[in-house]
Structure 1
Amino acid sequence: MTRTQLQTNDRERKKGGRPRLPDGEKRDCPVKVYFDRANYAKLARRSKRTGRPLSEIVYELAVNGYVKEPVPQGVAHCLRALAGMANNLNQLAHLGHIHGPQHIADENKRLSQEISGLIVKLNEQL
């Protein structure tokens, strides 16, 4: 290969990394903000609780007026368990259509009690 062919291949090759943001979405205007110790401590606690940097929290508060809190870990666990039980319920319905409702009555009753218990637990956590 000649030198010009190598240079052409270098230009065509994709560079790694994150793609550039469009000009309208790029944050390029910094603002310096000062807080008293009490309010800074509130922000620091919120940052630690949510696992997000202070700058992101201040930005969301300034732009949106609120910070969307992540779903607590216990609630996420309950929601995953509820999704699994919903899948089991669909499988039971399928078996009920094949073998008749008497075949799945006991399992259906047990599963509905578990689902009710999880819904109660979710309501207590929220």
Structure 2
Amino acid sequence: MNTENKKPGGRPKLARYQKRTRCFRIMFNESDYIYIQSKAEQAGLSVNEFCHQAAMGCEVTQRISPEMASAIRDLSGIANNVNQIAHQMHIHGLEVVKQHCITIITEISRIISQIKNDSHDSEH
């Protein structure tokens, strides 16, 4: 057999930018590792390749800031109040609850105005 016509064996070399040269170690407990193994097996991949593809394909989102968490809690409280108002409307009727809400809004507005006036008086 002629050595000039012989095809090279094995997989072709990867380009330098395609080579994986960095190792990242991650630890799993036994049940997590078994779960990852089964997912990799279902995908027809090795555990390493499965973890690599999972890490490269995931979308990382920023954690909720304390201000955003506070706003979400406030919205949750408002939603709770709206549900309570709707419940009262079903029991007592729209007009009774409407008058009660107007009274509460008027009182809140009065208190806010008083606070604004007091803060302006303390500035001078």
Q: Into which bin does the TM-score normalised by the smaller protein fall?
A: 0.3 to 0.5
Q: Which has the larger radius of gyration?
A: 2
- Specify which structure has the bigger relative contact order, considering alpha-carbon pairs within 8 angstroms and separated by 6 or more residues: 1
